[in-house]
Amino acid sequence: MLSLDKADLKNKKVLVRVDFNVMPFTPREPRIINSLETIRFLMRKKARVILITHLETNEGKIPSALKLAKWMRERYFRKLIFVPDLIGDKAEAAVSRVKPGEILMLENLRIDPREKACKIVFAKRLASFADIYINEAFAASHRNHASIVLLPKFLPSYFGFRYEQEINVLSQAFKPPHPLVLILGGGKVDTKLPLLKAMLPKIDKALLGGVIANKFLEKPIIKSPKIILPIDVVRVGDKIWDDGPETFKEWKKIINKAKLVIWNGPLGFVENGYVKGTKTLVLILAKTRARVIIGGGDTTDYLPKKLPKNIFVSTGGGAMLEFLVKKTLPGIEAIK
């Protein structure tokens, strides 16, 4: 793996793929905060920084990156330049004017359908703007999109500092210390089951909450003595909306014996305010001596501002799950 801190960056045009697809934009957003080290390093090294990101709402709307650029300018980079163009003549001209140590943001990648369609002609045009490519978008690296998997074919490529950290920390799960406890919640059962199946031989216990626990309580999808289901729950009618206090008394005993805990997905129907279970688990994890890895956007929404040093919060949700199952991602393979 090539190290970014040894790269020749001075006066180079550096295309940095970030994942700032977080709306509304908030100062606590990990994906933005965790990319700042790489961006600021490039600026100190007098690189010409060109930021690219995708933005798309849950409803499928593709907004301009203008509001994001203004927000970034107000909080982090007062002289950030924005051009309302992606690969056209305006973008090319703006890139040519960027001076060493300056930062330019191009328009939203998804305004061009060839980004998601992973078209070479689109990637070649984007690559022509730069001398070096950096992927600092771990959370988007499970996607076969042009800016993730094709740009490294045309430019010398590196991982950002946070991206490297994600790989190193998550790789602890492949040769883990024991006891290893896996905690799964959230609503996307189809993405959690492959992880559960892949990790069952390695883990000591799997604590299930959220929708995946409901499914197992209805009918065991996988039978294993390692799988621990809630022993009491909060019901609304005939539906389970959160885990109960007795469950967490038992889980606390298991967690306190662990050396590594991996958690993905909130435990209750958090969209309707049933967050007590998730917050209770956060308190338990904050007091354990185990190394804790937490991922998933919905999960991280309920974490406090300050966390103990034993807790690592991954910027990836789906990317974290896929990496833990496959031990790699399309974005990693593109640069390796």
Binding site, annotated residues for ATP: 192, 271, 296-299
Run of H or E residues at 215:
helix 210-218
User: Given the structure tokens 């990990």, which residue do they identify?
Assistant: 30
Query: Which residues are CB-contacts of 165 (< 8 A; sequence separation ≥ 6)?
Result: none
Q: Would you say 80 and 74 are in contact if contact means Cβ atoms under 8 Å apart?
A: no
Residue that has been written with the tokens 């801190």 in this structure: 5
Distance CA 299, CA 278 (A): 8
Give residue for tokens 């499914």.
215
Q: Which residues are annotated as a binding site?
A: 192, 271, 296-299
d(CA 303, CA 306): 8
Burial of residue 8 (CB within 10 Å: 0-12, 13-18, 19+) is exposed
Calpha distance 66→105 (Å, rounded): 9
